[in-house]
Amino acid sequence: MDTELFFREIMPRMEDYGRYALAMQKGVFSKDKELSESDAENALTDADFMVEEGLLRFFLEKKYNFRILAEEDSPYVDKFSKEGDMLVVMDPIDGTLRYKKGFENFGMIISVFKKGILDGTLLHTPYDEKFYWATQENEIALSGFYHSDKLTFSHGGFGISSIGRRNSNIIKTNILPEDKEKIFNAKGLTINQSKKDNRDFRFGLNSILTEEIDGYFMKEAPCLDWGAISLIVEKAGGIVTDFNGERNDIHRYFGRNDGTKEGCIPSLIVANNHKTHETLVELLKD
């Protein structure tokens, strides 16, 4: 199956479910501001499952013949093939904490793997109706608007073709020890940590494409989110390597033989400019 054609076929349905997720989010967060944690959790869970299962039903209706790896458990997953070289990976609502807190910059991610290697990624951001995508065959990342029956695409767009133009010096990561954070700060990099109470929820997965952040790094980076979006960044002119600055096998998240957790790579640096990338390699190199 052609990955680009697959993305074009599913975009209208992704937009439908993106609107649903936005509507559910706005309904929850327009209530009393003293919303309980359980209410927010229930809203998130419902949205996750509705988006995921709606898309899975659509795939079955279209009779797509591929394997499925979905973030949420669903009986629909069992209806897909268990064998074959093509695997479709889904993250129905990426940015769950931002979603719960009422921020709009969550995304929906679908990735295609062929023989264990990332072949293409499609990211939809419902709040601004944008799509970002890239495939291994494309020379540059493609992006475009989808509105009703009108679909237009352009090379680059939305700032992707000029990645590296700005220099915000904000880097997202998972938990970084405090002593290490001071070293990064001394190099002029501001660290926004994913699992820290003082993190800035404005910055999400798509923030590197809109140039609000300069980069991301993580060990055991999962294919569901940053591993997948790294292909879009790379095709748009950014830099994607491991902590040693190596590019070899960077998009092989399945079937590795180096002891890495399945669906992950040992380490990942995603940067939108060479200066940031070089600094991160200097600080993170084994």
pLDDT in tens, 133-173: 889 987 666 665 444 444 444 333 333 444 544 556 888 88
pLDDT score of 183: 92
Contact 106, 83 (CB under 8 A): no
Domain with CATH 3.30.540.10 in the chain: 3-158
pTM score: 0.85
pLDDT score of 144: 54
Domain with CATH 3.40.190.80 in the chain: 170-284
pLDDT score of 29: 52
pLDDT score of 247: 93
pLDDT score of 109: 93
Cβ atoms within 10 A of the Cβ of 51, count?
Answer: 24
User: Tell me: domain 3-158, CATH 3.40.50.1470, correct?
Assistant: no
pLDDT score of 147: 44
- The low-confidence residues of the chain, meaning pLDDT below 70, are 27-45, 139-168, 197-198
- Dist. CA 220–CA 266, nearest whole Å: 5
- Dist. CA 187–CA 204, nearest whole Å: 23
Contact 210, 166 (CB under 8 A): no
pLDDT score of 259: 87
Structure tokens at 77: 């997953």
Contact 62, 12 (CB under 8 A): no
CATH dotted code for 170-284: 3.40.190.80
- Dist. CA 247–CA 234, nearest whole Å: 11
Contact 228, 109 (CB under 8 A): yes
Judged on CB neighbours under 10 Å (0-12, 13-18, 19+), 255 is exposed
pLDDT score of 131: 86
Cβ atoms within 10 A of the Cβ of 127, count?
Answer: 15
Query: In what order do the strands lie in the sheet containing 86-94?
Result: 67-70, 86-94, 107-114, 117-125, 130-135, 142-147, 150-155
pLDDT score of 156: 36
Average pLDDT, the chain: 81
